[in-house]
């Protein structure tokens, strides 16, 4: 049996689909399972024990080359690469195709692929972008206020794939763990004699950001009051923001932003006693490896996309306008009202 999973992005969404992958593998132990994913999130599934094949879409790179001012030779290379991807997508006839993304970009791939059963939720799901038009087997929609991970499991349940087990089984290797040990050593971080915690302060949405100054004060109090060694994490584009936060601190912390792959980041979070974070992909990565999370939420709904599982703490201001799901806001009051003491209280509950 050939099965195709389509979940392209983003990091948190791909992580939330891993329990569904494991459930499919358990239900069809001998199936050949392929997953289509975009390259930013592809390290999360490459090498996963439940997968036989990973097809990586470089959609953003292709669009940038074709729509930008790239030389014609680069445009031709992008077209060829996209063609080869589509050919690989169509080289197998799948018995079951599952669209977990429910966006136009995933619907197009469902339409291009060869398959007997093209399944996913029917119209009625928020942000769906008419993806249901590409399906020949449409599942009744479920309430969006169910957690994203559970919505994926509900979709499987409707397809006759039943599982009560939530397992991520992230493909973190011993090599990733050794590289993290070396990275911490280079930064002078010792994990043997005191607790180790991580702070991930940046998010893609402007409305999800908390004050840099508050992060500096929070970090100082964690170090001074609880004797915690701190590392800051993030992508390469976050390094300058993290530098500013650390420069506003009285105590010491390591800036690891841009120095870890996704698998190394998972290995790092395995070592930490907890993570303080905004609503972003690393929050879900920490939860998936079993690290307690103190998550600062403003415009989004933690019951939909918060850190999944017991033992986490969500810090919110509790304003009536939240969640609004807006990427821009004049006041950002739902984040501004959250104090350093509010986040410290959440951390104390973790500790």
Spell out the domain ranges in the chain. Answer: 2-158, 174-350
Other CB atoms within 10 Å distance of the CB of residue 250: 11
CB 203 within 8 A of CB 83: no
Report the SS3 class of residue 266. Answer: helix
Average pLDDT for residues 64-77, to the nearest whole number?
Answer: 93
Return the pLDDT at 153.
Answer: 98
CB 102 within 8 A of CB 128: yes
Q: Do the domains at 2-158 and 174-350 have one common CATH topology?
A: yes
pLDDT, tens only, 169-211: 999 999 999 999 999 999 999 877 689 999 999 999 999 999 9
CB 257 within 8 A of CB 242: yes
Return the pLDDT at 116.
Answer: 93
Return the pLDDT at 194.
Answer: 81
What CATH number should be reported for the domain whose range is 174-350?
3.40.50.2000
State which fold the 2-158 domain adopts.
Rossmann fold (3.40.50)
Confidence of residue 127 (pLDDT cuts 50, 70, 90): confident
Rounded Cα distance between 286 and 274, Å, is 8
Average pLDDT, the chain: 96
Q: What is the largest CA-CA distance in the chain?
A: 62
pLDDT, tens only, 342-351: 999 999 999 8
Provide the β-strand partners of residue 56: 37
Rounded Cα distance between 44 and 169, Å, is 10
Return the pLDDT at 93.
Answer: 98
Per-residue pLDDT for 34 more than 90? yes
């Amino acid at each position: 049996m050939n099965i195709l999973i389509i979940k392209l992005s983003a990091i948190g969404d791909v992580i939330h689909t891993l329990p569904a992958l494991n459930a499919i593998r358990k239900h069809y132990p001998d199936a050949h399972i392929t997953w289509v994913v975009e390259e930013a999130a592809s390290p999360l599934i490459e090498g996963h024990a439940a997968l036989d094949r990973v097809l990586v879409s470089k959609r953003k790179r292709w669009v940038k080359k074709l729509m930008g001012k790239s030389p014609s030779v680069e445009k031709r290379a992008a077209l060829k690469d996209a063609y080869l991807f589509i050919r690989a997508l169509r080289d197998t006839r799948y018995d079951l195709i599952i669209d977990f993304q429910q966006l136009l970009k995933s619907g197009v791939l469902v339409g291009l692929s060869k398959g007997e059963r093209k399944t996913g939720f029917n119209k009625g799901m928020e942000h769906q972008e008419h993806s249901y038009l590409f399906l020949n087997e449409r599942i009744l929609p479920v309430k969006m206020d169910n957690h994203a991970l559970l919505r994926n499991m509900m979709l499987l349940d409707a397809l006759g794939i039943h599982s009560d087990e939530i397992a991520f089984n992230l493909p973190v290797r011993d090599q990733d763990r050794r590289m993290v040990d070396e990275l911490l050593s280079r930064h002078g971080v010792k994990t043997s004699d005191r607790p180790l915690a991580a702070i991930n302060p940046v998010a893609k949405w402007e409305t999800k950001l908390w004050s840099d100054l508050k992060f500096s004060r929070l970090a100082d109090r964690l170090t001074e009051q609880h004797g915690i060694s701190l590392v800051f994490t993030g992508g390469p584009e976050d390094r300058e923001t993290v530098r500013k936060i650390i420069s506003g601190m009285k105590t010491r912390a390591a800036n690891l932003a841009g120095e870890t792959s996704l698998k190394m980041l998972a290995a790092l979070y395995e070592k930490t006693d907890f993570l303080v974070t905004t609503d972003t992909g690393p929050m879900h990565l920490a939860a998936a490896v079993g690290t307690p999370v103190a998550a600062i939420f403003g415009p989004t709904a933690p019951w939909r996309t918060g850190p999944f599982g017991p033992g986490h703490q969500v810090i919110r201001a509790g304003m009536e306008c939240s969640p609004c799901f807006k990427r821009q806001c004049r006041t950002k009051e739902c984040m501004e009202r959250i104090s350093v003491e509010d986040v410290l209280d959440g951390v104390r509950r973790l500790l």
